[in-house]
Amino acid sequence: MKKLFLMLACSSMCLMSLNAQEKLVKEVEKEIGSVKCETLREKLQPAFTDATSKDDAYTWFVAAKVELNTFDELFKQKMVGKAVDASLLGTYLLNGVDYLKKVFPLDTVPEVDKKTGLPKVDKKTGAVKVKTRFSGKAVDMLVENYNPLNMLMSEIHNNKDYKNAIKAYELFVTLPYEPYMLGRMLVPADTVVGEIRFYQGIAMWQSGNPADAIGAFELARKLGYTKKEAFDYALSCAVEAKNEPAIVAIAEEAMPLYGKQDGQYVRILINAYLNDQNYAEANKILDEAIKNDPNSAELVNLKGCLVENQSSIEDALPHFKKAVELDPTFSKAQFDLGRYYYNKAVKVRDERTDLAGEELAKLTDPLYEQALPYLEKAYELDKDNFDAKNALRSIYYQLGNEEKLNAIEQ
């Protein structure tokens, strides 16, 4: 008897809680349009967390009406030329849609026989028949607000509200595919979705999430958005995220499309093949690139570096010289050619331990003199080349050029 009393008491408390929260939600619904959204949003908070009302579709349907009613009023003002904060509009709209999406899994109510008061049962399956209360209206509200979402996405993004922009882009491309929306709106073309995924990737990158952005850019490319920027932004994010496999994969994908236009993809792949000591594939890709662009100092110089890795810097020398001839302003080629003569001088100093002073200088100084103009030019073109700076510092010291040594130190 005592146990039965406790169960009845518990049921009574749950019913009181449900009635209290349902009353609260009904009050909020009546106040929509006459009380500020923020006030009603705060008033609904207990219903969002209560054990009974949080699983009631009515709670989330009213919460959505609160947000979308305010959005609708402000959006109408915007349409007649009044200044309205796009980020604020986005917040109301996205909150409303989030609440509506919570309605569908909760919105099933058993059908009741009016005569008996008992649930109706399907005669074929024996299952209790169910109906929805708010799903139809929720779908209508989603359809009504899809075009405004489309109109606001880029403005929210331009307003630097990256969090809401990411959500808006995601909603735009996924909402038409939700089971409850099928047949109710036109599905965007893949090309449109691809472009939206690209901008979503930009927003993710701008919000400090390069790893997530890589995935968005990949989706964009799979859907046909294969402009060069889709690869370059993805590469930047992969570098920032230190995702080496992604860097190589993006370069491999970009190479057939833009390899002739941009040498960075070749460089990435060459470095990857060098790390794997796959010289055959590295040479194959680089030779093809040089064939397509024989006057590229960058590619010719890269060939020199590849030859150096395979055999020796002596064999690489002709490539370094040719690269400098093709483009005297290409800092890397100037540095590599200067590095050849500088390293040769260092090797003589290391090997000829039997010589010192002027006798040793007679062998090394001419090599330092040969290296000097190339290294000076490399450093002039690229002040961040600290290897060139250190080599120059050493040469000035060895040649006794105090003036230039002091200048570079400063």
* Confidence class for position 114, pLDDT limits 50, 70, 90: confident
What would the DSSP string read from start to end of 260-282? TT-THHHHHHHHHHHHTT-HHHH
> What mean pLDDT do residues 121-133 have?
71
> What mean pLDDT do residues 211-233 have?
97
Check residue 10 and give its pLDDT. 46
Q: Are 156 and 168 in contact (CB under 8 A)?
A: yes
E-strand stretches of 252-392: none
Check residue 58 and give its pLDDT. 94
Check residue 51 and give its pLDDT. 85
pTM metric for this prediction: 0.77
* Confidence class for position 22, pLDDT limits 50, 70, 90: confident
pLDDT at 220 over 70: yes
Task: From 75, 65, 52, select the one nearest 100 (Cα to Cα).
Answer: 65
pLDDT at 11 over 60: no
* Confidence class for position 122, pLDDT limits 50, 70, 90: low
> What mean pLDDT do residues 19-23 have?
81
Q: How far apart are CA 12 and CA 61, in angstroms?
A: 26
Structure tokens at 334: 């100037």
Q: What is the tens place of the pLDDT at every residue in 146-166? A: 999 999 999 999 999 999 999
Check residue 117 and give its pLDDT. 67
Q: How far apart are CA 224 and CA 190, in angstroms?
A: 7
Q: What is the tens place of the pLDDT at every residue in 331-380? A: 999 999 999 999 999 999 999 999 899 999 999 999 999 999 999 999 99
> What mean pLDDT do residues 206-211 have?
97
* Confidence class for position 48, pLDDT limits 50, 70, 90: very high
- In the chain, the largest separation of any two C-alpha atoms, in whole Å, equals 119
pLDDT at 223 over 50: yes
Beta-carbon-side half-sphere exposure of residue 80 (alpha carbons within 13 Å): 5
Check residue 132 and give its pLDDT. 87
pLDDT at 297 over 80: yes
pLDDT at 277 over 70: yes
> For the chain, what is the mean pLDDT?
90
Residue 96 is which amino acid?
G
Q: Are 289 and 263 in contact (CB under 8 A)?
A: yes
Report the run of H or E that residue 252 belongs to, with start and end. Answer: helix 244-258
Q: Are 210 and 202 in contact (CB under 8 A)?
A: no
Check residue 366 and give its pLDDT. 95
Q: What is the tens place of the pLDDT at every residue in 61-76? A: 999 999 999 999 999 9
* Confidence class for position 93, pLDDT limits 50, 70, 90: very high
Check residue 129 and give its pLDDT. 67
* Confidence class for position 20, pLDDT limits 50, 70, 90: confident
Percent of the chain with pLDDT over 90: 77
